[in-house]
Chain A
Amino acid sequence: MRSVRRALPLGILLLVLAVMWEAGTSFLNIPHYILPKLSDVLYSTWDNRAVLVKHLGATLGEALLGLAFSVIFGVVAAIGIEASGLAKQTLYPLLIASQSVPIIALSPIMVMWFGYDIWSKVAVVILFSFFPLAVNTADGFRSADPGIGELLRTMGAGKRQLFLKWKLPSALPGFFTGLKLAATFSIGGATLGEWLGGETGLGVYTKRASNMLRGEAVFSGVLLLSLTGVLMFAAAGLLGRMVLAKRGQQR
């Protein structure tokens, strides 16, 4: 009940925006290839549902596969940075700096390396999703309360026990922060990978529709992609809240 009441203002805002979209495009006579009517977009979505579901499945598959690899690589990188003082001094600043590299500019390289099948898209997703996961997990390790570590050391804890009983649980909130970002980015990464060349996916769909000036089809693809991104974010957030629920409010 409370969550319904909290979501109510947002629902009203969305409704108002939808009405403004529909009314604005009708009254101002905006051409459909600039901004199609919302009703046309929804109609087009319904009309092409079979094709859209196929493309959505492809995009989602690339995104999830890339995200899975990003989780593995990101966590391994974070552990490496945490475990080695040298890596902390060298890799970590590099990782931070690399976040300002325009990833879009690197994406064509992935196509060169991995070709036009699914793996180039997965690689682009990893480009987008790896950094937030690695950096936030590494930050999670760094934020571990030194008092707890010291206490466990007085109890005779070795490196392995310190890692398992102190560092790892401490890093979980950071990991889930990274996962939320990475989940959202993964959809964008998959779409970009598809633009660069591919046969299926919502990126391909919107690009083709755009070439044909079919505004309502472009927008239905964009709407679906946005919705998927939001759902990925929400799912990652929910997973994090479930895992961390027992800890209460994080300080």
Chain B
Amino acid sequence: MNHAAPDAGQQGRLEELCLSVRNLNFAFPGNKPLFHHLSFDLREGEFVSLLAPSGLGKTTLFRLIAGLLPPDGGEIRLAEQREEAAGCGGVPASASGKKGRAGYMPQRDCLMPWRSVLDNAAVGLEIGGMSSRDARSRVLALLPEFGLEGAADRMPHELSGGMRQRVSFLRSMLAGGRLLLLDEPFSALDAMTRIGMQQWLLQVWEKRRVTILFITHDVDEALLLSDRVLIASEAPVSRLAEVEVQEPRPRSYDRLMTPPFIELKRRVLGLLPGGIGPPERMCTVEWEAER
């Protein structure tokens, strides 16, 4: 069943897969196709980054996975939601029932200016049918862990960019359950805030182990956060090159300055069109960190 994805799909039995994309075809009407027979998988509890130049349809891919757009062909399967999803680190799936659903964190935070931090984060639970009182108390209990302690009643316009992204992340996580789609969540932040947020995400994720598919333009960010980096380089996207990052966790930002990481970065850049380094088209880099 993995015949279409020799590079990106051989790591697991079906029941361990959180997301399985098979032979995906998609084109906007009247435009050149964006995806042609694209297949890839995400295992339960994996952090995978998707690295691609602009215009290759990364956000469109997310919209397809999130169910906002119907694919022209192929199949997108999300693992069914379980009430006590083991892979979700104790965050029960939303009350919306069986249908697999991805939590989508858009590029802009899209917080509702008329709702407080608490009510913004709870909106997915409310839509899933939870009473607003239960939703609020669930969110309230999670705020400290997400670096939002004491911010429950603050309004979005009173928050810094980093805080807004934390609320947005928490909201998506509560709404999605097992798979989280993060679309360049830190791209609008200044460099210092961004590093802080990357480390914050590392901490939260290393504790929770939700499955994350992370879109970014930033190679450092991808390598720092991910178990695997998927790289799309040509349109239409039909295969994804893959680089595995076997760096032990917990990770920290200083690891980016070590020679093995720099070597890894060079390889990733080589896989991107117009990148530096030798033009290796498809390769899997396995790398053991120095201890």
Contact = CB atoms under 8 A, between A and B. Distances in A.
A154 B66 contact: yes
Given A161-B127, A248-B158, 11 more contacts: A145-B110, A148-B112, A154-B102, A155-B96, A155-B127, A156-B127, A165-B112, A169-B114, A246-B116, A248-B113, A250-B113
Interface string A208-251: 00000000000000000000000000000000000010111111
Contacts of B114: 169, 172, 244, 246-247
A151 interface: yes
Nearest to B155: A246
Contacts, number: 64
A153 B113 contact: no
A9 interface: no
A218 B127 CA distance: 59
Nearest to A247: B113
Contact of A154 (B99, B104, B113): B104
26 contacts: A147-B110, A150-B63, A150-B106, A151-B106, A152-B123, A152-B127, A153-B68, A154-B66, A154-B104, A154-B175, A155-B94, A155-B128, A155-B175, A156-B99, A157-B127, A165-B123, A165-B127, A169-B114, A244-B114, A247-B113, A247-B114, A247-B155, A247-B157, A248-B158, A249-B157, A250-B113
Contacts of B176: 154
B9 interface: no
Interface string B36-80: 000000000000000000000000000100111000000000000
B52 to A, nearest CB: 21
Interface in A125-161: 145, 147-148, 150-157, 161
B123 A154 contact: no
A161 B67 CA distance: 17
Nearest to A158: B127
A52 B107 CA distance: 60
Interface string B93-133: 01010010111101010101110100000011011100000
B96 A156 contact: yes
Nearest to B111: A148
Interface of B: 63, 66-68, 94, 96, 99, 101-104, 106, 108, 110, 112-114, 116, 123-124, 126-128, 155-158, 175-176
Contacts of A166: 112
Contacts of B126: 165
B117 to A, nearest CB: 12
B67 A154 contact: yes
Nearest to A148: B110
Contacts of B106: 147, 150-151
A169 B127 contact: no
A249 to B, nearest CB: 7
Contacts of B116: 246
B125 to A, nearest CB: 9
A242 to B, nearest CB: 13
B102 A169 contact: no
Contact of A151 (B99, B110, B158): B110
Given A147-B110, A169-B112, A248-B157, A155 B123 contact: yes
Nearest to B113: A247
A246 B112 CA distance: 11
Contacts of B94: 155
A52 B67 CA distance: 65
A148 to B, nearest CB: 5
A155 B121 CA distance: 12
A165 B110 CA distance: 13
Q: Which 9 A-B pairs have the closest CB atoms?
A: A248-B157, A147-B110, A154-B104, A155-B175, A154-B66, A247-B113, A155-B124, A169-B114, A155-B127
Nearest to A243: B114
B108 to A, nearest CB: 6
